[in-house]
Amino acid sequence: MAAVVLVATRLLRGSGCWSGSRLRFGPSAYRRFSSGGAYPNIPLSSPLPGVPKPVFATVDGQEKFETKVTTLDNGLHVASQNKFGQFCTVGILINSGSRYEAKYLSGIAHFLEKLAFSSTARFDSKDEILLTLEKHGGICDCQTSRDTTMYAVSADSKGLDTVVGLLADVVLQPRLTDEEVEMTRMAVQFELEDLNLRPDPEPLLTEMIHEAAYRENTVGLHRFCPTENIAKINREVLHSYLRNYYTPDRMVLAGVGVEHEHLVDCARKYLLGVQPAWGSAEAVDVDRSVAQYTGGIAKLERDMSNVSLGPTPIPELTHIMVGLESCSFLEEDFIPFAVLNMMMGGGGSFSAGGPGKGMFSRLYLNVLNRHHWMYNATSYHHSYEDTGLLCIHASADPRQVREMVEIITKEFILMGGTVDAVELERAKTQLTSMLMMNLESRPVIFEDVGRQVLATRSRKLPHELCTLIRNVKPEDVKRVASKMLRGKPAVAALGDLTDLPTYEHIQTALSSKDGRLPRTYRLFR
């Protein structure tokens, strides 16, 4: 055993007593980097012979592919952004949504979202559509917002012709059979029940704050179908709406990961000169109303004590959302408002910490860290083509509603005060980081391209937006915040509202210098 160890040690050290072995076994004993004979003994610092010279990527912060836009003869816009990869995301975005339903039954856009990718003139069922997409590894989705409806497909780029033909059929040739409409009624009914039962109140509060801020107009109209309209919406109602709003001049065919010329050829093939299922009569009743901010309050008294049962139930909470009018995403002040929203930040009391989570944002430092009884304080910014809304959502025990509202009004007042240079730089860096990380995803790029082209007929590239963010100064944030504070507030309240201050008191607090609510005195409690 000792002899074996001695032999191994000498081999590893290259001891002189084995010099004869080196000569006996030839050049292989000298090879240090490879045991094979395919390559000669070349140091790692030298290039291998016969290997092509590598071309390395360079980082200059610029987009390698520009966004190309073409307008067809019928007014439809085709926009594309090429991107490396085997798959593409293609879809049709339409200027259509709940804001255009003033002259119709509220809830049509909600129905159309649920009816998407059902049977069409060429496809007998939804299953047939899904099987067609599966041949190209594809998936499909439809989403509606207050001002945009989006039909999208992600699939192998080789199937682009099939995908565009399918999208054209889904958007312009839906059958809308009685059976499909009835199934959609059940789906909408279930979604409304789920909305009222779910522990997270944010979707319902967002609906309420819009209703309060834009009373009975444009983006203040119901995004979800009211219960009383479910039975009233049928094929004829849907066709009367589609006739006016699903027109080529209100559409963008957007694609990411495709060649622009190929996408334009497919658009001409499937979307030019096509007779829609509802006929080709000219749109005559298009709503071009501009959003009118009214301010106001929307309240919903509800028992929240049993919203989440189980071994660790969520405690009973009252939820408040206070908002003020900001600006449209087409205005220059949109970027300072986005930075302000990031600076406010916030989240839930159980949010995980870590880099980029906003733990140094104002709503964490000034609210959640100081007031342990508050369960949530989060800033939101909703922006549209002609208006915007900056809100703060807060949650606490019903007995502390008044104190919670005063804390939020104080934070609004502080927005118009001094902006610390360090917190501003942190907010700008976080906003830039979030923007660039989101734009790593192909579906997000698709939505960005589609929405920008739909609104402005062009697209600002990420590096342009980053430059605008970097140029925001403390006085810009102070200016937009001061302008916002001169408007009337919008308030949404959900839960036990016994101690909720009056709307007039909240308005007075937001008009004061310190954000304090007027004192109230009670003889009896």
The pLDDT value recorded for residue 197 is 84
Q: Is the pLDDT of residue 515 over 60?
A: yes
Task: Judge residue 50's burial from the number of C-beta atoms within 10 Å of its C-beta, 0-12 exposed, 13-18 middle, 19 or more buried.
Answer: exposed
Across all residues in the chain, what is the average pLDDT? 89
Q: Residue 33: is its pLDDT beyond 70?
A: no
Give the per-residue pLDDT at 311: 73
351 or 387, which is more confident?
A: 387
pLDDT band with cut points at 50, 70 and 90 for residue 183: very high
CA 250, CA 75: separation in Å to the nearest integer? 8
Percent of the chain scoring above 90 in pLDDT: 77
Q: pLDDT for 59-94, tens place per residue? A: 555 556 689 999 999 999 999 998 888 999 999 999
- What are the backbone dihedrals phi and psi of residue 33, each rounded to the nearest 5 degrees, phi first? -105, -15
Q: Cβ distance 346 to 375 under 8 Å? A: no
Q: Per-residue pLDDT for 394 more than 50?
A: yes
The better pLDDT of the pair 251, 309 is held by 251
pLDDT value at 185 more than 90: yes
How do residues 272-322 score in pLDDT, each as one tens digit?
999 999 988 777 789 999 999 999 999 999 988 877 767 777 789 999 999
Lowest-pLDDT range of 64-73, 172-181, 265-274: 64-73
Residue 418 CA to residue 475 CA, distance in Å, equals: 9
Amino acid 25: pLDDT? 45
The pLDDT of residue 18 is: 40
Indicate the pairing of strand 149-156 with strand 67-71.
unpaired
Alpha-helical segments (H) within 272-354: 334-344
Q: Which residue has the higher pLDDT, 280 or 97?
A: 97
So what's the pLDDT on residue 351?
55
Check residue 46 and give its pLDDT. 84
Give per-residue pLDDT as tens, 444-457: 999 999 999 999 99
Instruction: List for the chain the helix, strand, coil content (%; round to 5).
Output: 45, 15, 40
* Between 29 and 204, residue with greater pLDDT: 204
Which stretches within 51-201 are classed as H helix?
108-115, 126-134, 160-172, 178-197
Q: Which H or E run contains 375? A: strand 374-383
Token pair, residue 123, equals 């496809």
The percentage of the chain sitting over the pLDDT mark of 70, rounded to a whole number, equals 87
With bands split at pLDDT 50, 70 and 90, how would you rate the model's confidence at 492? very high
**Which of 40-54, 55-69, 209-223 has the highest average model confidence (pLDDT)?**
209-223
pLDDT of residue 281: 75
The pLDDT of residue 30 is above 70: no
Residue of higher predicted confidence among 43 and 205 = 205
CATH of domain 296-511: 3.30.830.10
Angle at 191 between CA 323 and CA 251, to 5 degrees: 70
Residues 6+ away with beta carbon under 8 Å from 495: 301, 302, 304, 316, 317, 318, 319, 398
Is residue 169 over pLDDT 70? yes
At 194, which amino acid appears?
D
Predicted local confidence at residue 363, as pLDDT: 95
Span of 7-21, 106-120, 148-162 with lowest mean pLDDT: 7-21
pLDDT, residue 8, reads 40
Q: For CA atoms 469, 347, 377, 420, give the dihedral sign.
A: negative
Residue 296: per-residue pLDDT: 98
More confident residue, 474 or 285: 474
The angle at the Cα of 186, spanning 184 to 189, to the nearest 5 degrees, equals 110
pLDDT of the residue at 524: 58
The answer as to CATH 3.40.50.620 being correct for domain 68-271 is no
Domains 68-271 and 296-511 share a fold: yes
- 383, pLDDT greater than 70: yes
Count CB-CB contacts under 10 A for residue 91. 27
Is 298 within 8 Å of 211 (Cβ atoms)? Answer: yes
With cut-offs at 50, 70 and 90, classify the pLDDT of residue 24. very low
Which pLDDT does position 521 carry in this prediction?
A: 67
Q: Where are the domains of the chain?
A: 68-271, 296-511
Q: What is the pLDDT of residues 406-418, one digit of tens each?
A: 999 999 999 999 9
pLDDT tens across 462-473, in order?
Answer: 999 999 999 999
How far apart CA 110 and CA 297 sit, in angstroms, is 24
Q: Backbone phi, then psi, for 58, in 5-degree steps?
A: -115, 150
Q: Which pLDDT value is given to residue 58?
A: 64
Q: Is 426 exposed, middle or buried (0-12, 13-18, 19+ CB in 10 A)?
A: middle
Burial class (CB in 10 A: 0-12, 13-18, 19+), 183: middle
User: What is the three-class DSSP state of 492?
Assistant: strand
